[in-house]
Amino acid sequence: VSRVDEAAVRNTRDVDILIRYGSGRLPGYVGHKLFDDELIAACSPAYLKRRPPFSEPVDLLNERLIHLENVDPTWEDWNSWFNHLGITEAPSTRGQLINNYIIAVQAAVDGIGIVLGWKRLLTNYLKQGLLVPAISAVVPTTGAYYQMLHERRNTGANVDHLRKWIEKEAAAIRK
């Protein structure tokens, strides 16, 4: 299993199954929705202790937000998160601009600021106490996670077994 972008998918014929976040549409593939997600503002417990308590999402506007540099304009960011919560004021650009999601999450773990995170991707960080929600507000994502199957490829027993296992794991995540 590897992450591939649309250009890579168009140029390969050897991909049987893709796990993809987005709309579930990709030429040559049939999408089967695995699960939705939510966006949360997360930070380290140490960062939270150094700040006055946040009671409303607007309290985060002037915090050290970790901004993810998006190459895809359809991806959610701090502006869309605040807008969904009815806050039209632009968030502070004070903080970090990072071009890699994993590095952005690690910056939050290190106490640098607050990251906007996909809750399902942050599950282990939250369970381990490395990150905590900065505030209770959550925003549903515009996309979902999909299992993408090549529409014209005859798959064998191994691929079918993997597909069923992915579906079983996704069902457990949805609970």
E strand spans, the chain: 17-22, 29-35, 38-43, 65-68, 95-98, 114-118, 132-140, 144-150
User: Which of residues 12 and 16 earns the better pLDDT score?
Assistant: 16
What pLDDT score was predicted for residue 15?
A: 79
Tell me whether residue 117 is exposed, middle or buried, using C-beta atoms within 10 angstroms of its C-beta: 0 to 12, 13 to 18, 19 or more: buried
pLDDT in tens, 41-75: 999 999 999 998 899 999 999 999 999 987 677 78
Amino acid letter, residue 140 = P
Round to whole Å and give the CA distance between 169 and 107.
29
Average pLDDT over residues 17-35: 89
Q: Is 161 helix (H, G, I), strand (E, B) or coil?
A: helix
For residues 67 and 101, what is the distance between their CA atoms, to the nearest angstrom? 9
Cα separation of 25 and 41, whole Å?
Answer: 28
pLDDT digit string, tens, across residues 110-128: 999 999 999 999 999 999 9
Tokens representing residue 52 in the block: 């006055």
